[in-house]
Amino acid sequence: MIYELAALSAALCWAFAGIISHGPSTKLGAVAFVRLRLVIVSVLFGIWVFYVGTWSTLTASATAALILSGMIGIFLGDWALFVTMNRLGPRLTSILFSLNAPMAVILGWVVLDERLKSTTIFGIGLTLIGVILAIAFGRRASQRHIFETTHGSLRAGVALGLIAAFCQAVASLIARPVMETGVDPIAASLVRLATGAVALSLLMLFVRSTRQQAPLDPRTFVIVVVSAILAMALGMTLVLFALIGGEVGIVSTLTATTPVLILPLLWITTRERPAAGAFAGAALVVVGTALLFNR
């Protein structure tokens, strides 16, 4: 059970990170927040890669593909993800981002000509229904906490969430054949993360509206560091460990439980019980994901 527990722990790390990231992301701005997280984890991964010496696993073609994956998945995807969080809060953001799994399956069918079984199609349908249910009936009228408050247009927030999920799916599709060649996962992640950090730094340099919105105080910096370590360093490492001895389908399903795990955490944080639609939608997303990967 050690590998399954690792996968579930990764999902819990992402749930915690999603909740604690909302405040700093709103305060600093999505671009500045994501850039800071990427810089922190890039430094940590860079130290590890240089210490272990796994740069040699990266070829020129693999590096180029990973840079492209980083531009789409990290630069565009993470930016869209945290803009979504600033608009919709962590619960809706996590449920929308879960669509990256069915999107990746559909892209694999379209681009790589992978087979779609009837159970897979059913899983895609269940996941989609779960997301719609969580959006339409996932919040009670009495809920007033900032985590459940929509800032701006709901449609715009949902669109940004879908963009984030799609970017993640495309980035995974680009990185998949590279990882199958035996590239060190940490070195590959470092290329993707550093690419996103550089691209976001350039964006902040030339586009005034994307610059940091408030000074970085010590408390906010600590929260950003904890968020980066939980979501990117610890979460990613736990998933890689889980894949060593766990079945891909089970690991993928357990790591997709973040929308469910985030609900009791929100209940504790906000002292407001999530709506029945939120629980039902999150459960359908997990069941649908299980059907996608346990084929």
* Structure letter (DSSP) for residue 274: P
**Percentage of the chain surpassing pLDDT 90?**
36
pLDDT (tens digit, 9 = 90+) per residue, 82-137? 899 889 888 888 889 888 888 888 888 888 777 778 888 888 888 989 898 888 77
The confidence band for 144, taking pLDDT boundaries of 50, 70 and 90, is low
pLDDT of residue 292: 81
Mean pLDDT of all residues in 229-256: 79
pLDDT tens per residue, range 175-207: 878 877 888 888 988 999 999 999 999 999 998
Q: What is the percent of the chain with per-residue pLDDT over 70, rounded to a whole number?
A: 96
What phi and psi values does residue 239 have, to the nearest 5 degrees?
-65, -45
| Residue range(s) defining the domain that contains residue 240 | 2-293
Segments in the chain forming alpha helices (H)? 2-28, 30-52, 60-70, 77-88, 90-97, 100-111, 118-137, 154-179, 185-206, 218-228, 235-245, 248-255, 258-270, 276-293
For residues 114-144, one letter each, b for 16 or more C-beta atoms within 10 angstroms of the residue's C-beta and e for the rest, the string is eebeeebbebbebbeebbebbbeebbeeebe
What is the rounded distance in angstroms from the CA atom of residue 140 to the CA atom of residue 295? 36
Average pLDDT over residues 219-242: 88
Q: How many domains, the chain?
A: 1
pTM: 0.87
Burial of residue 247 (CB within 10 Å: 0-12, 13-18, 19+) is middle
- Res 33 pLDDT > 90: yes
Q: How many CA atoms lie within 13 A of 201 on its CB side?
A: 10
pLDDT at 139 > cutoff 80: no
